[in-house]
Each structure stands twice: as structure tokens, then as C-alpha cells.
Amino acid sequence: MADVAMLVEILVQVGLVEINESRLRTTKAGVRVATQDHQVGGKLLGEALIRSGIFSGQIRRLLEVSEIDAAGSLVCSRELALGVAPQLTGILRRFSTVSFVDKLRVPAPLLSKLDGVWSLLPASVGPELDFRKDMGNRGELYSYQYCRIEATDGTKVRWVARDDETLGYDIEDLNYDPKRRIEVKASGEEKVRFFLSQNEWNVAREHGEAYEVHFWGGVSLTTAVEEEFGKLTGRGYPLIFRGLSSLLDSGVLSAVPTQYLVTRPDGL
């Protein structure tokens, strides 16, 4: 039963099935996949799964370890592709234009669906949303895309917080020496106001000018991510605070402690 529930959850997330008054109903997209997918070798299901964000982690890792050839195709060794993105590699093999002999080769048109990064935003599942986490994911995705657009080599921009949340920053850009460490903050409000953990504070102090904060204000979880990214960048976001420690020391930014250590005296 647990496997059935997981399968239903995935189908709902992909948009092939919807729940209506405790009943399952196939969507128009679901009917199309069910009736036409076999005619195109599984391509329709593959595209739906990629768009859904289910493979967001594997897409990101594959982009980071691959190269782009002169024709604009993604090229990655067979072993490495299977190592970092096993399920995604299986899905990509459904496409007749994908080659998978000694290397995985994904042609430019299909690569654009992966490299657009909008499929990298993990989709929320179920009726309960984690507002803080979802807001954070949006901000990180926006900064990841922003840095890739601005970078000399987009493959050197890494969304490291997806793999390790203890680093004290979310994104690193290896196009710079020393590498840029980027902490991302997102808010529904436009006023610049955000919290730093003790770890983030320490890392900012340690790395000085190589550490920066990106602030995205006026973020809405109900707006399509690609549409909102265009609107926010058009309004001048992200606000970038580079060299956070020096900005705090000079008074350009101010910070106040918000945590207290509470203890009970010995003997009580």
C-alpha cells in the first residue's frame, strides 16, 4: 500500500492525475500520456517527469559534471552520468535523439529543457506547504539562475545547499578566485530584513569579500517561477551585499543579536 500511495503522489505531482473529492481522476495531460506515449517511445512521460521537478537534484548534478560541445549538446561519460543521475539517465534514454554508448549525449533542444533550471525547483507535495522552506528554495533557485546567466562558465556555478546545508552559504561560483560564496535570502516583503545563523555569521567573517548575500524581495509563492524571475530581475533584484563583514563594520548594514543562551545555575 505504501508503494501505491507513493506512486499516486508522484502522478499528482507530475500533473497526470488529480484528486477530486477523494477520487482519482486522470488529467488531460495524463490521458495524452496514457494514449500516445507508446507512439513516441516514452517521450511524453519523460518530458512530464523533467518538468515536474522530481529529478531536480539529478538534473543539477548532471549539469555540473558535464561539458557542452561545439554543437551545444551536453556530453558526459557513461559511468559518471549513471553515478550522479541514474534515474534521469534512464528517462533521457527514452528520447531518440539522445545517444548513450560510451558517453551520454543530450542534444541542444532537449538540453534547453534541463538547462532552463526552472525544473530544478523541488515541487511541494500534498496540501501542507512549508512556507519558509519553499520561500528559501525559490530565492536559491533565482540566485542560481542569475549567477549562471552572469557567469563566464555557467557549469562552475554550484547550488551546494541542495547537498549540504551546513556550509554557511547556498551557492558557490568557481569562476572567481577565491570562489564566491553566496548566501540567499528571500522575503515576501521588499524591506531589506533577514536573519543570519551563527554559522552564516562566522563564515561571512571568515571569507570577507568572497562572501556575499543575495536578497530577493516581494517574492510570491503563487507566481510561476520563470515569470517571477523575469519580473524581479527587471526591478533590480537580487540586491547584492558583497563583503558582508565590511558592510556591517562600516554601518552600511546593521545587525542585532536575536539569540539568548538560557541556563540554570548550579545547585538549583
In terms of Cβ atoms closer than 10 Å to its own Cβ (0-12, 13-18, 19+), residue 108 is middle
Higher pLDDT, 216 or 43: 216
Task: Using pLDDT thresholds of 50, 70 and 90, give the confidence band for residue 79.
Answer: very high
What tens digit of pLDDT does each residue of 239-256 get?
999 988 888 888 888 888
pTM: 0.64
Q: Would you say residue 267 has pLDDT above 70?
A: no
Please tell me whether residue 83 adopts helix, strand or coil conformation. helix
Q: Would you say residue 99 has pLDDT above 90?
A: yes
Exposure string over 83-101, b if 16+ CB within 10 A, otherwise e: ebbeebbebbebbeebbbe
Q: Would you say residue 3 has pLDDT above 70?
A: no
Question: Which residue shows C-alpha cell 496514457?
Answer: 34
Mean pLDDT of the chain: 84
Task: Determine what percent of the chain is predicted with pLDDT higher than 90.
Answer: 38
> d(Cα 243, Cα 222) in Å, to the nearest integer?
33
What tens digit of pLDDT does each residue of 172-196 get?
999 999 999 999 999 999 999 899 9
Q: Would you say residue 119 has pLDDT above 60?
A: no
> d(Cα 51, Cα 122) in Å, to the nearest integer?
10
Write the CA distances from 228 to 14, 38, 166, 184, 237, integer angstroms: 21, 35, 28, 16, 11
Question: Which residue shows C-alpha cell 545563523?
Answer: 197
**Ordered alpha helix ranges (H), the chain:** 2-14, 28-36, 43-52, 56-65, 78-84, 86-92, 108-115, 131-150, 198-207, 225-234, 244-250
Task: Using pLDDT thresholds of 50, 70 and 90, give the confidence band for residue 19.
Answer: confident
Q: Single out the residue of 12, 140, 116, 101 nearest to residue 59, CA to CA.
A: 116
pLDDT (average), residues 158-165: 87
Provide the pLDDT for residue 125.
40
